[in-house]
């Protein structure tokens, strides 16, 4: 059954029930009302007034019946008009929702519904628009991901093809070609590994082994890992360990990975003669780790997007600057361990700070 007939029948049923209740109340109350007034008349005009009681009762009942019968056409009209008004408004909203849903299903994620009023239909339209916005953002992210992955794969694949052709044309000896091919293959493996990890981080599917540990060994190992690269670039690496050193709650291996990503980023983007430092301190219930560099800094307009996957401040940077997902992975891992990762930057350099919960012994 269509919406209008159902609304009409429901409104008409309400009106009929109301009229029936009115008639029943009148039948129950009218005799007592008439009897009271007839007794008053008998007292005033004598016993002859009692003969008026049947006529009064018939007159009242006849009047009520006539009024109810006369109200039936008006009731039908009111029921039809109210049902029509409600049906038209609801059908208009349903039609907008139907067309919007079809547009979203067809990939038109920019479709939005008008939000007019303060009722449930408006609230439904508001939630629909939020859903459409979320789907639009997901679709934009999917397109960006495909574009970025294609871009990241293009360079190593082109290099592999070039080395293979050089080997085939004998313009490059087999030893040099094999080393170059292995290097490019490792770059592809690193990219695939990072893409797999960032997808699991964003989906919250990374397995963590949480425990209380002293992170000074992790910090020392992270500094030692980049000493060679820093020396080649003419950088100073500094490590500041507080005494006594606070224990933290987290995944020791993932914490090492976060430090490696941040230090790698700092070393790559700090010019010769600069300095990269790693420190930690306890503040309240958290331990704050800080990676500070004296690089060129990050322009303010890029800070809000620095943790997005594949986002690069300088579009001219190539894959040699990393896979483009290191900061995304670091932020996701820190948040999964209950902390937060932030960045501050100026022309004097950048400071990345992340927190982990301090371990409580009791």
Asked whether residue 343 is assigned to any structural domain, the reply reads yes
Q: Inform me whether the pLDDT recorded for 104 exceeds 50.
A: yes
Residue 320: its pLDDT value, please? 46
**Distance (Å, whole) CA 129 – CA 135:** 10
pLDDT reported for residue 358: 92
Which one of 202, 224, 240 terminates a domain? 202
Confidence (pLDDT) at 96: 80
Chain-centre distance for alpha carbon 198? 18
Same structural domain, 162 and 88 = no
Name which residue leads in pLDDT, 72 or 45: 72
Q: What is the pLDDT of residues 30-48, one digit of tens each?
A: 666 666 666 666 566 666 6
pLDDT band at 248 (very low <50, low <70, confident <90, very high): very high
**144-175, pLDDT tens digit by residue?**
777 777 777 777 788 888 888 888 888 888 88
Q: Are residues 102 and 127 in the same domain?
A: no
**Which residue among 87, 108, 129 closes a domain?**
108
> Does residue 227 sit within a domain?
yes
Same domain, 155 and 259: no
- Measured distance CA(289)–CA(241) in Å, rounded: 10
Domain total of the chain? 3
Shared-domain flag, residues 130 and 155: yes
122 vs 292, more confident: 292
* pLDDT of 22: 67
Q: What are 60's two structure tokens?
A: 């009242």
More confident residue, 69 or 323: 69
257 and 177 part of one domain? no
* pLDDT the model gives residue 335: 93
The CA distance from 151 to 149, in Å, is: 5
Q: Clarify whether residues 227 and 189 are in a common domain.
A: no
Confidence band (pLDDT; 50, 70, 90) for 318?
very low
Q: How confident is the model at residue 343 (pLDDT cuts 50, 70, 90)?
A: very high
pTM (two decimals): 0.60
pLDDT at 340: 95
Establish if 113 belongs to a structural domain.
no
Please state which of the ranges 28-37, 67-76, 114-123, 201-210 shows the lowest mean pLDDT: 28-37
Residue finishing a domain among 42, 77, 108: 108
pLDDT higher at 52 or 111: 111
Domain residues for the domain of 293 are 211-358
Mean pLDDT value of segment 69-73: 72
Query: d(Cα 157, Cα 66) in Å, to the nearest integer?
Result: 93
Give the pLDDT mean for 92-110.
82
Res. 66 pLDDT band, cuts 50 70 90: confident
The CATH number linked to 144 is 1.10.287
User: Mean pLDDT, the chain, as a whole number?
Assistant: 80
Res 106: pLDDT = 83
Which of residues 283 and 2 earns the better pLDDT score?
283
Pair (276, 160) in one structural domain: no
Does the residue 115 lie in any domain? no
Q: Residue 291 class from Cβ within 10 Å (0-12 exposed, 13-18 middle, 19+ buried)?
A: buried
pLDDT at 235: 94
Clarify whether residues 218 and 345 are in a common domain: yes
- Whether residue 354 sits in one domain with residue 218: yes
Q: Which residue has the higher pLDDT, 113 or 262?
A: 262
Give the pLDDT of residue 286: 93
Residue 293 confidence (pLDDT): 94
The answer as to whether 70 is a domain residue is yes
Indicate whether 260 and 341 sit together in one domain. yes
CATH of residue 321's domain is 3.30.565.10
Say whether both 102 and 169 belong to one domain. Answer: no
The per-residue pLDDT for 322 is 55
The predicted model gives 220-243 an average pLDDT of 90
Residue 74 lies in a domain: yes
- For residue 305, the model assigns a pLDDT of 84
Q: Are residues 224 and 287 in the same domain?
A: yes
Q: What is the 3-state secondary structure (H, E, C) of 160-190?
A: HHHHHHHHHCCCCCHHHHHHHHHHHHHHHHH
Q: What is the mean pLDDT of residues 235-240?
A: 93
Residue range 266-311, pLDDT digits in tens = 998 899 999 999 999 998 889 999 999 998 888 888 888 888 877 7
Residue 114, in any domain of the structure: no
Give the integer Cα–Cα distance in Å for 287 and 212.
12
In a domain, 330, yes or no: yes
């Amino acid at each position: 059954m269509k919406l209008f007939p159902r609304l009409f029948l429901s409104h008409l049923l309400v009106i009929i029930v109301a009229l029936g209740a009115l008639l029943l109340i009148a039948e129950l109350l009218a005799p007592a009302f008439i009897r009271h007034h007839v007794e008053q008349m008998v007292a005033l005009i004598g016993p002859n007034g009692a003969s008026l009681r049947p006529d009064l009762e018939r007159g009242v009942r006849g009047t009520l019946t006539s009024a109810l019968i006369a109200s039936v056409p008006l009731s039908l009209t009111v029921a039809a008009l109210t049902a029509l008004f409600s049906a038209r408004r609801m059908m208009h909203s349903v039609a907008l929702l139907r067309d919007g849903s079809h547009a979203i299903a067809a990939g038109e994620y920019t479709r939005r519904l008008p939000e007019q009023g303060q009722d449930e239909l408006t609230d439904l339209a508001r939630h629909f628009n939020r859903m459409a916005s979320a789907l639009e953002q997901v679709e934009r992210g999917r397109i960006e991901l495909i574009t970025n992955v294609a871009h990241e794969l293009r360079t190593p694949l082109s290099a592999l093809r070039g080395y293979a052709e050089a080997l085939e044309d004998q313009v490059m000896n087999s030893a040099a070609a094999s080393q170059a091919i292995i290097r490019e293959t490792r770059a592809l493996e690193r990219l695939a590994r990072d893409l797999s990890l960032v997808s699991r981080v964003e989906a919250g599917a990374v397995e963590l082994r949480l425990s209380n540990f002293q992170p000074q060994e992790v910090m020392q190992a992270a500094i030692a890992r980049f000493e060679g690269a820093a020396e080649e670039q003419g950088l100073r690496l500094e490590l500041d360990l507080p005494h006594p050193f606070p224990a933290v709650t987290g995944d020791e291996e993932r914490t090492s990975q976060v430090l490696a990503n941040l230090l790698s980023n700092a070393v790559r983007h700090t010019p010769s003669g600069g300095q990269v430092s790693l420190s930690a301190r306890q503040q309240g219930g958290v331990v704050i780790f800080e990676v500070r560099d004296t690089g060129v800094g990050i322009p303010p307009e890029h800070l809000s997007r620095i943790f997005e996957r594949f986002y690069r401040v300088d579009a001219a940077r190539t894959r040699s600057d990393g896979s483009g997902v290191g900061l995304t992975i670091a932020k996701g891992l820190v948040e999964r361990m209950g902390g937060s990762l932030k960045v501050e930057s100026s022309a004097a350099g950048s400071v990345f700070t992340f927190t982990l919960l301090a371990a409580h012994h009791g």
